[in-house]
Homo-oligomer: A and B are copies of this chain.
Amino acid sequence: MYEIGVVYRKIQRAEGLVADKLGGFGSATVHEAMGRVGLLKPYLRPIYAGPPVAGTAVTVLLQPGDNWMLHVAAELIRPGDVVVAAVTAESTDGFFGELLATSFKARGARALVIDGGCRDVKALGAMGFPVWTRAISARGTVKATLGSVNIPVVCAGALVHPGDVIVADDDGVVCVPRATAARTVEAASKREVNEAHKRAQLAAGVLGLDMYKMREPLAAAGLRYID
């Protein structure tokens, strides 16, 4: 399925402005706006609580226990990118730590999303480089086996193409294909306006049952109230 040992230098990135707008909505709203698809599995968690992040994907395919390709990827990072790293087998090793984060940050990366482990979490928090990861582990990696950079990867169960928009926050990580990113901004925007209105009603004590007009369909589905 994967092409191994290749690095695509040129990728088409979604527009930075679109990525930023998507970041403003957060992963839950973006996921709904896309038709309830695009989420990476919820085992990916941020290593520290911080603001939402959005950017364009630089993708990396790693071999388990080997972070060589993260160094190769560093050269291809442009300001506004989010590095998305998949691994060819399940691994919780600490592929990424303070040194790589220093390099990624210097290149303008906004975050790392990795279907593996990460270490130096205190230092990463102090320097403000956010990471979404499946594990925290002090166990380091070697630099011995080729993977690839900027090929389509499956990360935490979701397909990510280079240049797609990644939105990551406390609720998780969502990937928005480049082609539908602008359209998703619109859909998310509508949804958000809608939500603000609903929130006000609910805070005032209006029931969702009435606001969403659920009483009839509930009765039609056979719901019985017993006093």
Q: What distance in Å separates the Cβ of A35 from its nearest Cβ neighbour in chain B?
A: 5
A138 within 8 Å of B (CB atoms)? yes
A188 within 8 Å of B (CB atoms)? no
Interface magnitude class on chain A: 35 or more
Contact B120 A28 (CB under 8 A): yes
In the assembly, what is the distance between CA of A175 and CA of B1, in Å? Answer: 7
- Chain B residues, Cβ within 8 Å of A4: 35-37
The B-contacting residues of A in range 73-112, CB under 8 angstroms, are 74-75, 88-94, 97-100, 102-103, 105-107
Q: Write the chain B residue with the least CB distance to A61.
A: B37
A193 within 8 Å of B (CB atoms)? no
Contact A221 B5 (CB under 8 A): yes
A174 within 8 Å of B (CB atoms)? yes
Q: Write the chain B residue with the least CB distance to A144.
A: B144
Contact B68 A214 (CB under 8 A): yes
Q: A7-B226, A207-B103, A226-B9 are in contact. Are A68 and B36 (CB under 8 A)?
A: no
Q: A143-B214, A154-B157, A214-B71 are in contact. Are A89 and B90 (CB under 8 A)?
A: no
16 contacts between A and B (CB under 8 A): A1-B37, A1-B159, A1-B177, A6-B223, A26-B120, A26-B138, A28-B119, A28-B140, A42-B92, A71-B209, A72-B218, A74-B209, A98-B195, A100-B202, A103-B202, A144-B144
